[in-house]
Chains A and B, each alone.
Chain A
Amino acid sequence: MPSRKAGRHRRDMAKGAMSAYNIPNDIIVRILSRLPVKSLARFRCVCKPWQSLSPTTDSSPSITTTPSSFTTATAPPLTTSSLSLPHPNPISATNLHHPFPPRLVLSDMDLVGSINGLVCPPLSPHIALWNPQPNSTVTFPHLKSSVSIPSLSRFVLCLMLLGTIIRSLGLFVPSPNSG
C-alpha cells in the first residue's frame, strides 16, 4: 500500500512524464467491477461520475457484470416479478435446520428477493432469509409483527449487504408469535 506521500511524489513524476492520467471510463468500470461491495460503496464518494458508475441508486447502474447482485438489494420495489430464484431446491429446503414451526415448508413460498445466492421468501407472518447450502443457522432478534412484509424484506436484504460473511450462513427471522 503506498503511503499518501509516496503516492503524491510518484504521481508528480508520472505527470511530468505523461501529463495527467486520463483513464478511460471502461477501464474504471473494469476495475470497479472487481471490487467487493464494501469498497464499491465507499468509492461512491470519490467523485460524482464514480457514484453513478457504482450501483446502488435507482439510476441505471453501468456495472451489470459484478459478481454480487448489489443492485437487486436496493432496487425498489422488490416484487416476485422483478426477482427470480433460478433453481429452487425443495430438497435443500426441507433438510434445513430452521427454527420455524414444522408446518412452514420453504418450498411452498413465493420469493421476495435474492442476493448473493441467498433468497428471501415471504413467509407470512415471518420473514426468512435462506441460504440453500447452509453451514449454520442464525436467528435474528424478534421484530415487530406490525412491519409489513415487503418493507421488512427490503430491510433484511439491506442488512445482508453488511458483510459477505452472511453469505455462508442461513439466516432466519421468526415473528414474535412463532414460539
Chain B
Amino acid sequence: MASAPENEKNASAPEKKTLTLKSMINNEEFVVDEHVALQSVTIKNMVDSDCAGDVIPVPTISGEILALVIEYCKNHANPSASEDDLKKADAGIVAKDIYTLIDLVLAANFLDIKGLLEVTSQKIADSIKDLPHQDVREIFGVENDYTPEEEAAVRAEHDWAFEGFP
C-alpha cells in the first residue's frame, strides 16, 4: 500500500483509490479503481516505484482499445465472478475484427496483462487459421520478402497444406 499523493477529488471515498489512464492517441481519459488497473504489471510497477502521477499516460493505445482493456481488468478484478462468467465475458471482449484484436494484443503486451494476452492471441489464431497466407501477410502488414521462385519452393515443401487455397 503506497500512500501516493491523495487525490482531493476522491477525498470523500478514501478507501477506494483510483487511477486515471490517459490514451496518448486521442487523449481520452479513464478513471479506474486502483485494484482494477493494477492487473497490468506495467502499471503496477509504475505505482510500486512511485512513478505514477495522478494521470498515467498510455502511449500507442487508443481510447477504444483502452476501454476494452479496462473492461477485461474490471471483470477479472471482481471476486464474485465465476469462471464461467469470466469465460463468457472474455469471449465478448475478443469478439472483434482482426485489426482490433491486433491492437488489443499489442496493448495487452505493453501493459503486461497475461490473461488478456492469452485470450487475444488465441482468438487471433482462431481468426486467421483458415485464411490464405496472402491475407495473413496483409493483416499483419508483413512485407513479402520471397522471390516468386523462393515462395513456390517453400510452398512445394508443404503442398498438402495449400489444398483449396490460392
**A binding-site residues for B, Cβ under 8 Å:** 1-2, 4, 7-8, 10-11, 14, 17-18, 20-21, 23-24, 27-28, 30-32, 34-36, 38-39, 41-48, 50-51, 56-57, 161-162
Residues of B within 8 A of A31 (CB): 105, 121, 124-125, 128
Cβ–Cβ contact B161 & A47, under 8 A: no
Q: Mark B119-139, 1 if CB is under 8 A from A, else 0.
A: 001101111111111011111
Stretch from B3-11, B73-81, B82-90, B141-149 forming part of the interface with A: B141-149
Q: How many A-B contacts at CB < 8 Å in the complex?
A: 107
Complex Cα spacing A179 to B7, Å: 86
| Dominant secondary structure at the A interface | helix
> Inside 8 A of A23's CB, which chain B residues have their CB?
102, 105-106, 140
Q: How far is A65 from B129 in the complex, measured between Cα atoms in Å? A: 18
**Once the chains are docked, how many angstroms separate the CA of A48 from the CA of B105?**
23
Q: Which 6 A-B pairs have the closest CB atoms?
A: A34-B125, A41-B161, A41-B158, A39-B129, A21-B141, A42-B161
Question: Could you tell me if B125 and A35 are in contact, using CB atoms closer than 8 angstroms?
Answer: yes
17 A-B residue pairs with CB within 8 Å? A1-B127, A2-B98, A7-B98, A7-B138, A10-B99, A11-B138, A14-B99, A18-B62, A18-B103, A39-B129, A41-B161, A42-B133, A44-B158, A45-B133, A45-B151, A47-B142, A47-B144
Question: Knowing that A18-B60, A20-B141, A41-B160 are A-B contacts, what are 6 other residue pairs whose CB atoms are under 8 Å apart, sorted by A's residue number?
Answer: A1-B130, A2-B97, A11-B138, A35-B125, A35-B128, A41-B157
Given A17-B62, A23-B106, A45-B151, also A50-B142 (CB < 8 A): yes
Contacting residues, chain A, for B154 (C-beta < 8 A): 44-45, 51
Asked whether, in the complex, the Cβ of A45 is within 8 Å of the Cβ of B155, the reply is: yes
Q: Which of B105, B141, B161 contacts A38 (CB 8 A)?
A: B161
What secondary structure prevails in chain B residues at the interface with A? helix
Who on chain A is nearest to B109 by CB?
A27
Cα–Cα distance between A18 and B66 once the two chains are bound (Å): 14
Interchain CB contact (< 8 A) of A45 among B103, B122, B146: B146
> In the assembly, what is the distance between CA of A17 and CA of B131, in Å?
26
How far is B158's CA from A36's CA once the two chains are assembled, in angstroms?
14
Task: Enumerate chain A residues within 8 angstroms of B138, measured Cβ to Cβ.
Answer: 4, 7-8, 11
Complex-state Cα separation, A45 to B156, whole angstroms: 10
For A38, what are the chain B residues with a Cβ–Cβ distance below 8 Å? 160-161
